[in-house]
Amino acid sequence: MPSHQRPEAWASLRKTVVTLCLLCSTSLSPARGQARIPLETVKLWADTFGGDLYDTVTKYSGSLLLQKKYKDVEPSLKIKEVDGLELVRKFSEDMETMLRRKVAAIQNLVEAAEEADLNHEFNESLVFDYYNSDLINEKDASGAYVELGAEFILEANAHFSGLLVNTSLSSVQLPTNVYNKDPDILNGIYMSEALNPVFVENFQRDPTLTWQYFGSSTGFFRIYPGIKWTPDESGVITFDCRNRGWYIQAATSPKDIVILVDTSGSMKGLRMTIAKHTVSTILDTLGENDFVNIISYNDYIHYIEPCFKGILAQADRDNREHFKQLVDKLMVKGVGAVGRALSEAFQILQQFQEAGQGSLCNQAIMLITDGAVEEYEPVLEKYNWPDRKVRVFTYLIGKEVSFADRLKWIACNNKGYYTQISTLADAQENVMEYLHVLSRPMVINHDHDITWTEAYMDSKVGPPGTLYPQAQSLALLTTVAMPVFSKKNETRSHGILLGVVGSDVALRELMKLAPQYKLGVHGYAFLNTNNGYILSHPDLRPLYREGKKLKPKPNYNSVDLSEAEWEDRAGTLRTAMINRETGSLSMDVKVPLDRGKRVLFLTNDYFFTDISDTPFSLGVVLTRGHGEYVLLGNTSVEEGLHDLLHPDLSLAGDWIYCVTDIDPEHRKLSQLEAVVRFLTRRDPALQCDEELLQELLFDAVVTAPMEAHWTALSLNTSDESEHVVDMAFLGTRAGLLRSSLFVGSEKVSDKRFLTPADEASTFTLDRFPLWYRQAAEQPPGSMVFNLYSAEGPEDAGKPVVVTVSTAVAVTMDNKTAIAAAVGVQMRMEFLQRTFWAATRQCGAAEGPCPESCQDSDLDCFVIDNNGFILISERPQEMGRFLGEVDGALMTQLLSMGVFSQVTMYDYQAMCKPPTHHHSASQPLVSPISALLTATRWLVNELLLLLLEWSTWGSWRGDSGAEAKAVFHHSHKHKKQDVLQPCDTTYPVFVHQTAIRGADGVVECGGCQKTFVMQQIPTSNLLLLVTDPACDCSIFPPVLQEATEVKYILPTLQLNSAHNATVKCDKMRSRKLRRRPDACHAFHPEENAQDCGGASDTSASLPLLLLPLGAWVLLPRLLR
């Protein structure tokens, strides 16, 4: 987590001048004979308005009635203190049990796959039909099923999010660039048919299992349940299981990698393009437990990121993407000096190993060159022989084979592997070879390490790593995976990795084992990994909006715990959890609410422990005070059941009262239906949370009289022409929600309220509703008013309704527990009418009042405790922040201490990158310029055609599709990445409740502006009355805007050398992490002479030179 940054000098100076000006020009009493706004009158208005609101809200919400009902049953109540350590241990044990079941399932698959391989004899001429996921159920023009596309019965299955699947069989997916009848593929698929019965048995034994799969080292992917695969929009299947994090992490141990890229003059053109793609492909095989650096070399050596000079960077998503962008900018010139590059790479690896940094496991150098290598043998002899602790992998770029022997010699004499990469399409298969080499020691030892991945995002309705068109939402997953080895004695020294088996675990399902009702109003649970990254946290925001689409953030799965729990400045919580400690600590925290517009000040108690046999740690947060107490009461099942059966009662949809997702017969039941069936003993097979049901039954009984109260009110007000409220509602800690409409459903102002479309207003898996959370932090009997705006395209942002809520608390033996929150949805028109009527009061004065808020001489606002306007004479100001409307007044309230400014931080923000305009005339495009631009586009398309043509020399008929995908991806990436991850700071403004009233004068040039502020009783509202005659526009507005934290300061402030230091210090900083327990770097029986050979070179040299010439020469001629 970055340290809190000071504001930029100019902004700070400007703010200081404005504040000093205000302090010199304001007073608590009017000056220069300015007409005084009567304080007593304003107080009368505030008291009258507050009293009217209190009477209306208590009447329609029934809050006093509900408080009385809890008082009536107080003798049977008890308040229990929650033991946070006991709670976190119980949650951890439940999660451990669940995850062990997933491990047992994949262990069954590993045993079955290895046994099947042991009994299978390779058959070069094997002919075998299988269910190809891409082709199943496809027919040709004659109506017959296409080859490998036989009939495959698919049925919608609720457990798999309604997807069409076959739970009796698996199906096989292959990437477009893998030939589906290759003998290796056919033999592997035939052997893996033995997994079908194991898939089914696993699912029957543990119905909570989701996708199970086997990813083969040859490229095919067997998935259960069987499914029809959906290609991307261009008809290409790019998904390759060997690229996935679960496959790579299970197949190899952690590794330190230094990539050396030859950027000498001989690498120009297509060779450099292939080299860049090769580097990018290598980066895709790395994960957060790996470390990497990239050095380019010609006459000199160059760290492509100077900030990483002499070190290795953790290969998390942020750093990998950063390296890719830098690799894309590499230029060629000079002569390649490979000796110096190798020396530098060995020294980095040696220094890191000796310092106890990096992975402390595998170490390797990747040498990417077109073959002009000299002076390498003395370097290898000095740094790597005789122990050969660093493997060297060599990649010969291009068709030229003159230097193949040298590069193969380097690899074979350093326990590495040599490959030749002639086309873009070759990169994927050839890069994967290094993973097979690194897996050899583990394979020979038969060490079946269990691997758990970091959180990653997937379609909620698709197999791993795919985004299906029918996907409605995205879900965070972790995968448990294990490697599958060949046990044949004759191949033991080769350490043959057959593939990896895995199964997905939806983190949402895992977090259901930490139920929200046990955590209270503000409590929550979270998970983090051994690297300190968040696995699950209610404040994790993995998506951002780009236009109308929601997209994953580039760094969504490398958000550090310190970036969500940013008050943990010393890293105490993070350190304890990474070290697998069990314990607790307390922190004062600032909790953002309502999309950062508001803030709560809480004292949280954190309890934490590890989850055995996983790299994960679990944290539980309870809020000090009411958050650590739970109200318990008794009632009979019969009485509670009767009060549950009401049409306007609902339960928290995401909470697990009863398990309904295992038995197919239960999946059609709502939670309320399942509860009723369990309580009436009509379905003894249902598994329910009896503790939660006991709380639910009690809440149902105590809150039942509210229905009669609301019904009576509705009948009495049905004939009124002017309705006061749209609805009344209440919620309890057990997730029970009651509501009653006072108008027809078609007349409700905010139809989204209390529905899943408005998550903030409902009970979710990890949060209580916003109105409940705000009410819980108000003084007893006080009400929270929130202005809600319309969401529709026509009225977006227009204030439509006010939600008012208040908490119902029970206090016994000096312990206070929040039992419920109750409220109303109040019509905006009624609120305004009530206010204007209240401001016509003038106390004991006879005759018409001398002042009124509807006079042109006064300007009146009703604002909430965060400065947002609820009522104004100008409708366009309602819902806006006061500082935006009247900067002078807000600045004065801040300087007087009526409001305080709270600085908040967002370390998951997305910002627009800085724009660089080379010329002010750039937008004025001449016809000639436009013609040249179009011609360049045509050249690029020609180049793409030639690149595809040049890949036809490969034996894979569809390899051109991969080259096309690579080319399009690189160009699409540059155009569409409008936003990028950043850190921001933003202000939130909070009323200081100790100041109930204030008045003063603001000097605005040639005039003075007077104002009076008065708190409105029993609410979070303030009344502001000002003199509108004085123009104070000389003062800038006070805005609630986010500002990006700049780690490279403006050059006016610091010299460039210091700027570089600031940037590099942040990039080089390394937080505490815990390495994985297992490491398999070498094995004495390993066959190091299995180190690669020459690749196919069927494409012709002229064909390769043609796109090179097109790319290099034509665009230059067209500029």
pLDDT at 798 > cutoff 90:
no
Radius of gyration of the chain (CA): 34
Q: What is the mean pLDDT of residues 178-202?
A: 94
Amino acid at 1035: F
Q: Residues 924-939: pLDDT tens digits?
A: 444 444 444 445 444 4
Q: How many CB atoms lie within 10 A of CB 567?
A: 15
Which has more pLDDT, 586 or 945?
586
Q: How far apart are CA 632 and CA 64, in angstroms?
A: 21
pLDDT, residue 471, reads 36
Task: Report d(CA 117, CA 188) in Å as an integer.
Answer: 8
Residue 722 pLDDT class (50, 70, 90 cuts): low
Q: With bands split at pLDDT 50, 70 and 90, how would you rate the model's confidence at 975?
A: very low
Alpha carbons 456 and 504: distance in angstroms, whole number: 11
And the tokens for 374?
């000299």
**Measured CA angle at 101 (ends 100, 102), to 5 deg:** 90
CA distance 918 to 281: 33
Lowest mean pLDDT among 130-134, 274-278, 681-685, 689-693: 681-685
- Count other Cβ atoms within 10 Å, centred on residue 50: 20
Q: What pLDDT score was predicted for residue 505?
A: 94
Beta bridge partners of residue 649, listed in sequence order: 738
- CA–CA separation, 551 and 532 (whole Å): 24
Per-residue tokens: 54: 């209190």
Name every residue whose Cβ is closer than 8 Å to that of residue 106 and which is 6 or more positions away in sequence: 212, 480, 481, 482, 501, 502, 503
Task: Please state the separation of Cα 972 from the chain's center in Å.
Answer: 23
Cβ-contact 451, 249 below 8 angstroms: yes
3-state secondary structure of 192: helix
pTM as predicted: 0.87
At 2 the pLDDT is: 46
**Residue 516 contacts residue 768 (beta carbons within 8 Å):** yes
- Dist CA 992 CA 894 (whole Å): 10
What pLDDT, on a 0 to 100 scale, did the predictor assign at position 1112? Answer: 41
Length of the chain: 1119
The region, left, alpha or beta by phi > 0 then psi within -120 to 50, assigned to residue 764 is beta
Average pLDDT for residues 392-414, to the nearest whole number?
Answer: 93
Pairwise CA distance, residues 224 & 165, whole Å? 9
Looking at residues 710-731, what average pLDDT do you find? Answer: 82
The answer for residues whose C-beta is within 8 angstroms of residue 362's C-beta and 6 or more apart is 252, 253, 254, 255, 256, 391, 438, 1079, 1081
What average pLDDT does the chain have? 85
Q: Determine the pLDDT at residue 430.
A: 93
Question: 22 pLDDT band (50/70/90 cuts)?
Answer: very low
Which of residues 237 and 264 earns the better pLDDT score? Answer: 264
How confident is the model over 594-640, as pLDDT tens digits?
A: 999 999 999 999 999 999 999 999 999 999 999 999 999 989 999 99
Measuring CA to CA, how many Å separate 313 from each of 249, 259, 1068? 18, 12, 8
The answer to whether 898 and 992 are in contact (CB under 8 A) is yes
Query: Which residues are CB-contacts of 157 (< 8 A; sequence separation ≥ 6)?
Result: 163, 164, 165, 167, 225
Least confident of 70-79, 478-487, 803-812, 843-852: 843-852
pLDDT bracket for residue 1056 (50, 70, 90): low
**DSSP 3-state of 10:** helix
Nearest C-alpha neighbor of 239 from the set 468, 580, 511, 470: 468
813-848: string of b/e by CB count within 10 Å (b at 16+)?
eebbbbbbbbbbbbbbebbbebbbebbeebeeeeee
Position 465 scores a pLDDT of 42
DSSP E strands, 91-225:
155-157, 163-166, 171-173, 212-216, 221-224
Quick one: residue 334, left, alpha or beta (phi over 0 = left, psi -120 to 50 = alpha)? Answer: left
H helix intervals, 951-1068? 959-976, 1056-1068
Give the Cβ contact number of residue 206 at 10 Å. Answer: 15
Report whether 1020 contacts 864 (CB < 8 A): yes
Task: Pull the structure tokens for residue 406.
Answer: 């040298």
Give the pLDDT score at 548.
Answer: 82
Where are any strands of DSSP class E within 614-767?
Answer: 617-623, 629-632, 649-651, 725-732, 736-741
pLDDT mean over 147-164: 90
Residue 649 CB burial class (10 angstroms; 0-12, 13-18, ≥19): middle
Which strand (E) or helix (H) includes residue 342? Answer: helix 338-354
Q: Which of 424, 429, 430 is nearest to 407 (CA)?
A: 430
Residues 738, 646: contact at Cβ < 8 Å? yes
Angle at alpha carbon of residue 4, lines to 292 and 456, rounded to 5°: 45
